[in-house]
Amino acid sequence: MDTRTSASDHGQGDAGLDTFPRYLMHHAKVRPQHPAMREKEYGIWQTYTWAQVAENVRAIACGLAQLGFKRGDRLAVVGDNRPRLYWSVAACQCLGGIPVMMYQDAVAQEMVYVLQDAEIKFAIVEDQEQVDKMIEIQPDAPMLEHVIYDDARGMCHYTQTLLMGLDELQEMGRIHDRNQPDFLTGEIDKGASDDISIMLYTSGTTGKPKGVCQT
């Protein structure tokens, strides 16, 4: 028996599902226990359901909002392809922000131009290597106010005030969500299909990198 559930099976078609955040929350509602993402960790596939993905995205989004992230702000995302970094992209989109994907193998000085050009205030990065780059270039990108890291290994002795672990951000977001349970839904409802969904920079091999915006 085919147990897949479509939106129309629940009396709701695709009308109104015109942004990624709306699709995400819709899937979390109509097929919460179905697999949404898989990641191989230590040789074993880990599965995240739509409900789990939505809960994590909600926590990150509300945490960013608590830190002052607003509609139209840019969020740099730096790291390998990992679920929590993709959740961060979705969280940014939920708030009407613009995720800016950056090459994780770029050296620090190559990142400065993108941070300056996109006027980035927030960054979510994978690990200590990317944190070190952000700390190095922060004097040249003083608009960068918050750097949130996913992998906490090696971070226990860092004291810079702009740093925060993603776990801490999510816990902050869950508290925010409990206190303002309608907040994120309201932000998602403000989104439109012609909003900028993501900004991708060219490699800059023939000149300075150019930010390409896609709806």
For residue 198, the cross-strand partners are 214
pLDDT at position 69 is 99
> For the chain, what's the residue count?
215
Pick the CATH number of 18-214 from 3.40.50.12780, 3.40.50.300, 3.40.50.2000, 3.40.630.30: 3.40.50.12780
Q: Distance between CA 197 and CA 63 in Å, rounded?
A: 20
Q: Which amino acid is at 79?
A: G
Q: Supply the DSSP symbol for 100.
A: E
Domain spans of the chain, in order of start: 18-214
Q: Which of 163, 68, 70, 160 is nearest to 124 (CA)?
A: 163
Residue 12 burial class via C-beta count within 10 angstroms: exposed 0-12, middle 13-18, buried 19 and up: middle
pLDDT at position 207 is 81
Task: Provide the 3-class DSSP secondary structure of residue 156.
Answer: coil
Share the mean pLDDT of the chain. Answer: 92
pLDDT average, residue stretch 56-67: 99
Residue 16 pLDDT grade (very low, low, confident, very high; cuts 50, 70, 90): confident
pLDDT at position 208 is 86
Residue 10 pLDDT grade (very low, low, confident, very high; cuts 50, 70, 90): very low
pLDDT at position 14 is 63
Query: Could you tell me the two tokens for 129?
Result: 């290597």
Count other C-beta atoms under 10 Å from residue 128's C-beta: 15
Q: Distance between CA 169 and CA 196 in Å, rounded?
A: 24
pLDDT in tens, 93-109: 999 999 999 999 988 88
pLDDT at position 213 is 96
Say yes or no to pLDDT of 65 above 70: yes
pLDDT in tens, 112-171: 999 999 999 999 999 999 999 999 999 999 999 999 999 999 999 999 999 999 999 999
Query: Could you tell me the two tokens for 9?
Result: 């099976």
DSSP H or E segment with residue 147: strand 146-149
Whether this model's pTM surpasses 0.85: yes
- Could you give the residue ranges of the DSSP H alpha helices within 72-142? 83-94, 108-117, 128-137
